[in-house]
Amino acid sequence: MVRLLQWLLAVTALATVVVEMLIWWYAQGGDWGLAVRTGWALLRSLGFLLLIRQVRLGRASARPFGLILCVTTLFAVARLILPKQGLPTAPGVLGFVALSVLCAAVLVLLYRSTDLDTHLRQHPRRIVMDRNGFSLQQVAPKRPPVSGWLLTARVAGLAYGPLMLVPAIVAIGLVLDGRVTLVPLIVIWFVAALGMSYLMGIVTFFLLRGKRWPRPVVILLTVAALAVQLPLCWLMLDGDGLVRDGAPLVVTAGLAVYALWRADVPTSNI
């Protein structure tokens, strides 16, 4: 089952690249925004290769990482197939449907396979010295195991920065078109995106260490990310940008908050 999932992830990564190139081809030389979003979608396909490594090593973070990766990938491709005018092309729609099926299959294996459930509970391997000398063995961490929901909240929180950075780069196209008065707002957008990545990295680090204070901070940062992203998308990229770049962050933020809530629910009530 582990090998099957690895092959499925490889096929999904390849399908992502093929679908995105197909959409770009039928767009007949898209604008700056399409180029940036296509480049980002291609870059995220590398995430599936990283996920293959996490599955092979039996990392517990493979599940939340796979969930966020599949959801955001589908959003990234969906916003590529939606033209500003008219209907999407048939090849783009068919490619999106095929990619949706692959992502759904990945999530089913990650969350429903009992074999994978056992495999993803492996501990990291470390060099251990015993009477037989040095060897590489699995070593159980001293801390209690981290909740899968907390891992999901961390992965979702770390995605805020990139999801904010993409539309900020798209907005640079407006400056290239002569709207130089937008430069200060774009700079603020960039600073907010980079700052969000930095803060989320620190706060969610302590979240996984069992501290209570990061939970409200994560929620405050989530509200701040939405308060920056949504108005700027509407102001500079219009309703089209609000849908293409605001919706992925809203869904990811919802996953983060939901994961925090589920992590607080006693096991007996789940």
Q: How far is CA 26 from CA 23, 89, 173, in A?
A: 5, 7, 21
Least confident of 2-6, 24-28, 73-77, 233-237: 24-28
Give the burial class of 39: count Cβ atoms within 10 A of its Cβ; 0-12 exposed, 13-18 middle, 19 or more buried: middle
**50 with 15: CB under 8 angstroms?**
no
Residue 221's pLDDT band, with cuts at 50, 70 and 90, is: very high
Residue 268's pLDDT band, with cuts at 50, 70 and 90, is: very low
Whether pLDDT at 16 is above 80: yes
Distance CA 48, CA 119 (A): 18
Residues 6+ away with beta carbon under 8 Å from 114: none
Rounded to two decimals, what is the model's pTM?
A: 0.79
* pLDDT digits 0-9 by tens, 51-66: 998 888 888 788 888 9
DSSP state of 180: G
State the average pLDDT over residues 205-225.
92
Segments making up each domain of the chain, as ranges? 1-121, 147-265
Distance CA 158, CA 164 (A): 11
Residues 6+ away with beta carbon under 8 Å from 155: 61, 64, 65, 67, 68
More confident residue, 139 or 35: 35
* pLDDT digits 0-9 by tens, 184-209: 999 999 999 999 999 999 999 999 88
Least confident of 116-120, 130-134, 236-240: 130-134
State the average pLDDT over residues 166-175.
91
* pLDDT digits 0-9 by tens, 154-166: 999 999 999 999 9
State the average pLDDT over residues 84-99.
78
